Amino acid sequence: MNTEHHTIGGIDVEVHWKSIKNLHVGVYPPDGRVRVAAPAAVSLDAVRRAVLMRMAWVRRQQARFLAQERQSPRLYQSGETHYVWGRPLRLEVVEWKRRAHKIAVLGNDRLSMSIPPNSSRDQRAKWMAAWRRTVLRMVSAPKVQKWSELLGVTPSTWGIRDMRTKWGSCNAAKSIIWLNTELSAKPANATDYVILHELAHLISDRHDDQFVAVLDQHMPQWRTIRRDLNLFPLAAWDA
């Protein structure tokens, strides 16, 4: 597969040339990334024409994503709402005399952050991000194992990283799976869906009939879960 990035009609477009029959233009959450899957024999001019012909639709889709509910920028102060596994939790920030910090869910509605005195906003953001990665890894590890066994595939490695435009990614050639840190804010079944989606690319690296059949077989409700995931409040732009 050959991948290039081009500006078409004033929009950044990610173009993938693959061994497929038909050209496909897609617009993806969370911020309207435009991706084209094109047959290997199709020229860049043909790709440009296809995108320009669909430009009105592309801009409507991007506008819909941009209008989606989004959290305000996080200051990591008491009273803020932070989502954990789909639940809105009220943040309680407490200063203590220790040098270390501690973050924990308390009950069904609170998220506690104990921090050293005079901790900056950036430090709090860094600690929260690290905590989210830890929580997501703990929950995801058994899920990756379960879905790998069900599909009969073995990723060489998997990890968690901050991603702006994807919930997950798969490098099929190297069998590497990545999950978006923000999944820790979404319902747990969304993590199952993303893991299944990315592992299915180890069976087919395209979104073809074989790929869809894997999802249909193992998670018949995956379209509903994907829809709900993409409707959930997004992180602030500076997250």
Of 3, 5, 9, 2, which Cα lies nearest the Cα of 50? 9
Please indicate, yes or no, whether residues 54 and 135 belong to a single structural domain of this protein.
no
Q: What is the pLDDT of residues 193-217, one digit of tens each?
A: 999 999 999 999 888 889 999 999 9
What SS3 class is residue 46?
helix
Within-domain flag for 18: yes
Please state the rounded mean pLDDT for residues 155-172: 89
Please indicate, yes or no, whether residues 45 and 8 belong to a single structural domain of this protein.
yes
Please indicate, yes or no, whether residues 192 and 88 belong to a single structural domain of this protein.
yes
- pTM: predicted TM-score of the whole model, two decimal places: 0.73
Within-domain flag for 236: no
What is the predicted pLDDT for the residue at 20?
87
Please indicate, yes or no, whether residues 53 and 100 belong to a single structural domain of this protein.
no
Please indicate, yes or no, whether residues 158 and 52 belong to a single structural domain of this protein.
no
- Residues contacting residue 201 through CB under 8 Å, at least 6 positions apart: 170, 172, 211
Say whether pLDDT at 109 is over 90. yes
Question: In the chain, which residue ranges form alpha helices assigned H by DSSP?
Answer: 44-53, 55-66, 121-151, 188-200, 209-218, 222-231
Within-domain flag for 238: no
Within-domain flag for 239: no
Buried-state track 33-42, b at ≥16 Cβ within 10 A, e below 16: bbebbbeeeb
Please state the rounded mean pLDDT for residues 145-170: 92
Please indicate, yes or no, whether residues 206 and 100 belong to a single structural domain of this protein.
yes
Percent of the chain with pLDDT over 90: 72
**Long-range CB contact pairs, 95-104, < 8 A, 24+:** 95/119, 101/127, 103/127, 103/128, 103/131
| Residue 87, token pair as written in the block | 């639940």
Please indicate, yes or no, whether residues 104 and 162 belong to a single structural domain of this protein.
yes
Of the residues 66, 91, 117, the one at which a domain ends: 66
Please indicate, yes or no, whether residues 87 and 181 belong to a single structural domain of this protein.
yes
CA distance 76 to 194: 28
Within-domain flag for 183: yes
User: The domain containing residue 55 runs over which residues?
Assistant: 2-66
Least confident of 5-9, 49-53, 226-230: 226-230
Within-domain flag for 71: no
Of the residues 66, 92, 108, the one at which a domain ends: 66
Q: What is the pLDDT of residues 172-186, one digit of tens each?
A: 999 999 999 999 999
Phi-psi region of 184 (alpha: psi -120 to 50; beta: other; left: phi over 0): alpha
Of the residues 25, 43, 66, the one at which a domain ends: 66
Please indicate, yes or no, whether residues 100 and 200 belong to a single structural domain of this protein.
yes
Q: What is the DSSP letter of 23?
A: -
What SS3 class is residue 34?
strand
- Residues contacting residue 127 through CB under 8 Å, at least 6 positions apart: 101, 103, 113, 115
Confidence of residue 239 (pLDDT cuts 50, 70, 90): very low
Within-domain flag for 73: no
What SS3 class is residue 192?
helix
We report the CATH number of the domain holding residue 172 as 3.30.2010.10
| Residue 71, token pair as written in the block | 């959290």
What values do phi and psi take at 89, rounded to 5? -115, 140
Residue 57: burial class (beta carbons within 10 Å; 0-12, 13-18, 19+):
exposed
Confidence of residue 68 (pLDDT cuts 50, 70, 90): low
Q: Could you tell me which residue, 227 or 46, shows the higher pLDDT?
A: 46
Please indicate, yes or no, whether residues 62 and 112 belong to a single structural domain of this protein.
no
Quote the number of domains for the chain: 2
Please indicate, yes or no, whether residues 43 and 89 belong to a single structural domain of this protein.
no
Please indicate, yes or no, whether residues 128 and 182 belong to a single structural domain of this protein.
yes
